[in-house]
Every structure is written in C-alpha cells, then in structure tokens.
Amino acid sequence: MCGRFAITLPNDAMAQLFQAQPANDLPVVPNFNVCPTNPVHVITASDGARRLQAMRWGFLPHWYKTPTDGPLLINARSETIAEKPAFRSAARERRCLVVATGFFEWTKTEEGARLPWYITRADEAPIAFAGVWQIWGKEDARQTTCAIVTTPANQHMAQIHHRMPLILDPKDWPLWLGEAGKGAALLMKPGPEGRLSYHRVDPAVNSNRASGPQLIEPIEP
C-alpha cells in the first residue's frame, strides 16, 4: 500500500519535468509527511495538454453524501480496479500521476512497535505513482480527489510490505495518462527488482503531525 509520502521537488521543477501547466493553488513544498486527505501534486492530461494541479488524497465515490460517508480510499488495488464500482470508471477515463520524492512503509517488531522505512527510487529520480481521480460534490462542496494504484510487492519490497505503489517510468507516462492510446492495464504490475532503495527512519514520522527533513534521514536499524 501507500499511506504516507514526501515531496521535496519545487513546483516549477515538477511542471518542467512533466511538461505540464501548473495551477495557481498547488500545495506548499517541501512536505516531508504527506498524509491522507492532504492536497497532493497530480498530473492530468486532456485535449493534448498536461496540467499540474492539487487534489485531495482520498478518493470520494460519487455516491458518498459526505467525505466521511464511507471508507477512506487512498489506494486502489490494481487487481480489482477495473471491477470495483468506486474505481472502474476512473480507471478507464480519469487516470493521473501523483508526484512524490519517496514514500513510507512500516514493519513491526515482535513486541508490536511500528518501525518506519523511507523508500525512494534507487536512481534518486522523482517518483510518479499511477493514480485515478474523481470530482466529488456539487457547487461550493466540489472536491477533486484521487487514489494511488497499488500492486503486489516485488521480492525486494516484500521484505517490508506485501504491497507497493505502482511506480511508472517516464516512457510509460503517456500510456497511463491516455495520450498514447489504450493498454494502460498492461502497466499494472510490480516494478522491476532493484528500482527502489530503502532505509530506516526515525519513529517520529509515526505521527501525522510530524514535519521536517529529519523525517527522511537514515538511522541505524
């Protein structure tokens, strides 16, 4: 799964990297502890143009009467995304990229203590999570919301968690965004071994109120 991440890339650098027009209301960066329901940086494509915009992390199906009317949908499983009523339309028509620098995952000790790990691309490049999005609500209550697609973990990531976010290479961005025709379903599989690197970080990040660059600094296991 993906339940927390960090973004340190400046907004103008994100816009340049993804060749996208930036919106005026982008979230503040850096943010070393992006949590569910926070606004996140998202790339969408329509009419031959890409846009960098803010979306609420936490997908709201159209039948929710309030944002808390059902489970908080921060992730969408690749194996069922095409059939689940909440996601199937978005999987066909509203795919996006969620931009990150790295993400967090947790293991547990025998005593039940949660040990956080910070995961990045091994080549230190920015991360593009595959995502889906949905506009929810009416008039003043309208929100644009998103979820991150996850897959079963590859062997390397399985040492920490049995699932992982779907991370796309630049060559695959056009296909996922619908710019290169159909076939995005072919991308929904665990990434290759060796793509990611991880290290232990301070348990301070266990709190969703924690902030600061020290949250991603390595500590001794």
Q: How far apart are CA 144 and CA 130, in angstroms?
A: 16
77 three-class SS: strand
Q: Which pLDDT score is estimated for 73?
A: 98
Question: What pLDDT is attached to residue 184?
Answer: 93
Element (H, E) at 25: none
For the cut 90, the answer to whether the pLDDT of residue 210 exceeds it is yes
217 to 23, 123, 127, 200: CA distances (angstroms): 31, 17, 18, 8
What's the order of all strands across the beta sheet hosting 5-7? 31-34, 5-7, 102-108, 114-121, 196-200
Domains and CATH numbers, the chain: 5-216 (3.90.1680.10)
Q: Mind listing the pLDDT tens digit for each residue in 70-105? A: 999 999 999 999 999 999 999 999 999 999 999 999
CA distance 116 to 216: 10
**DSSP H/E element including 90:** helix 88-93
- Range of weakest confidence among 43-52, 68-77, 108-117, 128-137: 108-117
Is 90 exceeded by the pLDDT of residue 221?
Answer: no
C-beta separation of 201 from 104 below 8 A: yes
User: pLDDT band at residue 66, thresholds of 50, 70 and 90?
Assistant: very high
pLDDT value for 21: 98
pLDDT tops 80 at residue 58: yes
pLDDT at 67: 93
Structure tokens belonging to residue 86: 């909440």
* 181 or 174: which leads in pLDDT: 174
pLDDT score recorded for residue 130: 98
User: Does the structure show a pLDDT above 90 at 112?
Assistant: no
| pLDDT band for position 141 (cuts 50, 70, 90) | confident
Number of C-alpha atoms within 13 angstroms, CB side, residue 14?
30
